[in-house]
């Protein structure tokens, strides 16, 4: 039989609320990131430089996983890989490719 503890239920709800707050902050930061990508696209067009920079992506991954606890490093790197994939897709759409 499962015991219900009002104390534990409150702790659970408090933690979920904190996660909701973090998720909203992540959402806002991602929006800001994509706005910066938009500006970078425009500058790269003016400079006639390559739109995709593999070295930059590798540098991002290395920066992200540096000093992370090993038990979460791979998961966080995977999340950033997806962010980069979506960023590339966004750039391609904005360029009409």
pLDDT digit string, tens, across residues 41-82: 888 888 887 777 889 889 998 999 999 999 999 999 999 999
- Residue 4, CA atoms < 13 Å, CB-side half-sphere: 1
The mean pLDDT value of the chain amounts to: 90
pTM summary value: 0.81
- What is the pLDDT confidence band of residue 2, given thresholds at 50, 70 and 90? low
**What domains can be seen in the chain, in order of their start residue?**
6-94 (1.20.59.10)
Q: Residues of the chain with pLDDT > 70: what percent?
A: 96
């Amino acid at each position: 039989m499962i015991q219900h503890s009002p104390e534990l239920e409150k702790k659970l709800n408090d933690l979920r609320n904190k996660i909701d707050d973090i998720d909203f902050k992540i959402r806002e930061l991602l929006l800001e990131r994509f706005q910066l990508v938009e500006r970078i696209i425009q500058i790269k067009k003016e400079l006639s430089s390559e739109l995709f920079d593999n070295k930059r992506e590798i540098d991002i991954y290395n920066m992200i996983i540096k000093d992370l606890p090993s038990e979460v490093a791979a998961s966080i790197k995977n999340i950033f890989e997806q962010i980069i994939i979506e960023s590339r897709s966004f750039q391609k759409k904005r360029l009409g490719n």
